[in-house]
Structure 1
């Protein structure tokens, strides 16, 4: 729990007490100050909650990244085994897929020949 949440809750409670005292005494100034303190405490409490949520989200993201890093070797090995099994079961299909990928890469890497620049002719 964040210190802003604790301070905000305390300030909110103090504002409610001050507002109630102002209501009982019939003092509008004390009542208004209590409501202002209550609002400030609520804002500070919400700020603390937002900080806690951001901290929790960051911790969760770090945990997911660590898990992904630790398990990445297992994932690569299992995918290599799956690909090898597929190639062994269907070598012609694998050859056709590899050829298609190579053809597509060749088309992407070649570019059309450059046209010579148009020449300006002066007739005069």
Structure 2
């Protein structure tokens, strides 16, 4: 989607060029200068619109990348959960020992931070 600043800027730019050319042809310095000023303002507005379009496009791209990474993370989490469940079902005693060691280590960390 094109920003409206780009459209109005381009229109002002063209209008300024025409007014400046008419001023040059008729010898009217006022119209010539005013046309050049309008042309410069139109170019500036057009550039502003281009910048807004660029930022909007970059934000859209970042959103799509984040959405893809979120989806991939969900798939990885589900695969990891299935694998852990499979390992626990296959090796229940080893799983209990590992869980106990993790709990003991966390207990030491919590207790050590109180001292």
User: What TM-score do the two structures reach when normalised by structure 2?
Assistant: 0.67
Q: Does 1:35 align with 2:36?
A: yes
Q: Deviations over 1:7-61 (max 9, x none)?
A: 1001101101111111122211110100110011011111111111111011111
Give the Cα–Cα distance (whole angstroms) in 1 for the partners of residues 31 and 13 of structure 2.
Answer: 15
Deviation at 1:73, TM superposition (A): 2.3
In the alignment, which of 110, 115, 122 is matched to residue 113 of structure 2?
Answer: 110
Greater Cα radius of gyration, structure 1 or 2: 1
User: What TM-score do the two structures reach when normalised by structure 1?
Assistant: 0.62
Q: Which runs of 5+ in 1 are unaligned?
A: 82-94, 113-124
Within a 5 Å distance, the mapping from 1:31-70 to structure 2 comes to 31-70=32-71
Aligned-residue Cα RMSD (Å) equals: 3.2
Q: Which runs of 5+ in 2 are unaligned?
A: 84-97
Tell me the number of residue pairs that the alignment of Structure 1 and Structure 2 aligns.
101
Deviation at 1:78, TM superposition (A): 5.9
If each structure's helix is expressed as a fraction of its own residues, which one has the higher value?
Answer: 2
Give the Cα–Cα distance (whole angstroms) in 2 for the partners of residues 79 and 50 of structure 1.
Answer: 43
